[in-house]
Structures are given as C-alpha cells and as structure tokens.
Amino acid sequence: MSVAEKGKGFFMSTNFTADQYRSALDRIQSVRVCVIGDLVLDRYVWGDVSRISPEAPVPVVHINRVEDRLGCAGNAAVNLRKLGAELSLCSVIGEDEEGRSLERLLGSEGISPQSIFVDQRYPSIVKTRVIAHSQQVVRIDKEVLPESSDARVSAFLSLLEKNIGAPDVIIISDYGKGTIMPEVFDLLSTLKTSGKITCPIVVDPHPANFKAYKNITIAKPNRAEAERATGIDIRNNADALNAAKMLMEQWSSEMMMVTLGEGGLVLVSDEYPQGLFLETVAKSVYDVSGAGDTVTAVFAALLGSGTPVDLAGSLANIAAGIVVSEVGTVPITREKLSAFLSNL
C-alpha cells in the first residue's frame, strides 16, 4: 500500500490492490447494521417526449412505465442488503397506499418492517420524478412534515429501543423529514453509557438537525452541508480540511468525511489529522441521486467490520463513482463492485 503526498499536509488517494478491496467487500456479509432515518417512496415515471403542449410551453410526456423504489434511508438500506449485510431499518411511514408500497418494497429486499412505526396522522412521503430520454423533466414531492409531539416521540423511541439489537454499526440517515430528532441521540447516548450498544455511529446529516448531533463516530456532510454548518466557503482542499475539523468539534465526532462531488472526498481522523483526500473515480455522471447514501452505506458497513478507515473510504468512493453513472436512485451491488475491481 502506498500513499502519495500532494501539497503540504495533504495526503491523496490511497492505492490498494483488488484483493484488498475484495477482502473488505467480503467482510460486509457478516456485518449487522441498524439504519435509523427517513423512509421515502421514490416513484419514477418513465416516458418519451415528442412535442410541446399547446396549453403551455411544457413537454408532453407519454408514459411507458411507472417504477417505485426505496428512497432516502430506504436507499441506504437497499445498498447494504445488496452488499450482503444483515439489516434492521427503523423509520416512519403513513397508513396509506404509499406506505403499503414501501412495506412491499422492503419485503422484496428482505428487510423486516417490524421496526417501522406507522403514523396514522401523516401521509407517507413520495418523490415522483418524471423522466424522458434519460433526462428528468420534473420532480413532484408529496410530503407533510410532522409536528413533534410527546406521543410520537415516545412511540418511536420505544420501537427503536426494542428493535435496535446489538448492531456492529448504526447509520443515522437524516433527510430532515421528522424521523430524526434530538431525542434519538439522547437515547443512543443512554444506550452507549449502559453498554447496550458499543458500535460506531455514522451520521448522514441534514441542516434541520445540525444542533442535535453529538457523541457520534463520524458524520458525512456534502460540500453544501459543510459550508452551511461551518460558514466556510469550500473552494479548495484546505477549506474542506478546516470545515471537517470544525465539524468534528461541533458534533463531538471522532472522524469527519466531507464529500466534494467531482472533487472526491476528504476524511479526517486521528490517523489522518491533515486529511486523507480521495479523488473521484466517476468516469461519467448521469444522476447523483442516492450517491451519498451509497457512500454512507459502504463506509459504515466496512467500519462496522473493522476495516481501516482509509480502505473503507476508498471503497466507498469507488462505489459512489459507479452509481452516478446510472439514471435515478440506484444502489450499489456486490456484482457491480466486483466487476469494477476485476479491471484494476
């Protein structure tokens, strides 16, 4: 293994062999992961456009098919299942047809709905994307953000505590839709203090809860989220490093990962106090939807398996580069990763 230095204090992409990556990938199959977060129904309406509407200057889409997928925390969960991890998902859905669709999709992926809280007062969240000729024409969101109440908080926390088990890693998949609240972190802190859980906690953050994060292992904000949380305009590696260090202090985190889109990602830890910078491996980018979920899922699963953070970050970065080459929210799979690794 070699690490090439580029610029004072910065360490660039770590080079691992295909066998090292495959060995790390194999370890995911023995990992137990608990995902806590917002579950969304991603609905794709696929069609063709051949003319503009006479009623308004908009395209007329002729529908060919409609496809439902698990989105947000559900996408992180599917990524993990496709990689072979053992999984529990704690989330909230509505008592409606969309909620039943989500339950069917979970079942088709082998994910138990026993830790899903059904809230009769609020509808399930649906994001509908209309796509024609591989281009998104419009996105239509159906959501009503829930108001926090003692009853809702108590019911969800009780379900979470009952079903959290003894995972190797916990993922907080926060999309600001109401599932993640300060009380979740209070409960996790209590469970850690009591010794009921001893595993890493990985947070995929959202601005709605920036003030709630505490006592976590690592968070993975993207560039925009890191800029908003710190007030730092990230224009280069030095800015990204400063933002990551500031967030480690703000969120009482042991490590920090900031994803930088086409700029790759930066990882800061005790081992890499001056930052490990991993360049993107994406050859073509069609759709970045869900790429952050892929990074979170792969990195967290590897962290839970005891994989070194540089290897975990590198393989997560590779996985993200694969999924952005496809249209829509698409999970990584063992087969896709293995095919990529066979060409190294």
Q: How far is CA 332 from CA 38, 206, 220, 247, 315, in A?
A: 20, 23, 18, 28, 11
Catalytic site positions: 293
Residue 74 · residue 157 · CB < 8 Å: no
DSSP 205-245: --GGGTTT--SEEEE--BHHHHHHHH-----SHHHHHHHHH
As a whole number of angstroms, the distance between CA 15 and CA 180 comes to: 36
Residue 156 · residue 117 · CB < 8 Å: yes
Residue 183 · residue 153 · CB < 8 Å: yes
Residue 120's contacts (CB-CB under 8 Å, 6 or more residues apart) are 94, 95
As a whole number of angstroms, the distance between CA 254 and CA 213 comes to: 12
As a whole number of angstroms, the distance between CA 171 and CA 76 comes to: 9
As a whole number of angstroms, the distance between CA 113 and CA 103 comes to: 6
Residue 99's contacts (CB-CB under 8 Å, 6 or more residues apart) are 93, 118, 123, 124
As a whole number of angstroms, the distance between CA 57 and CA 332 comes to: 37
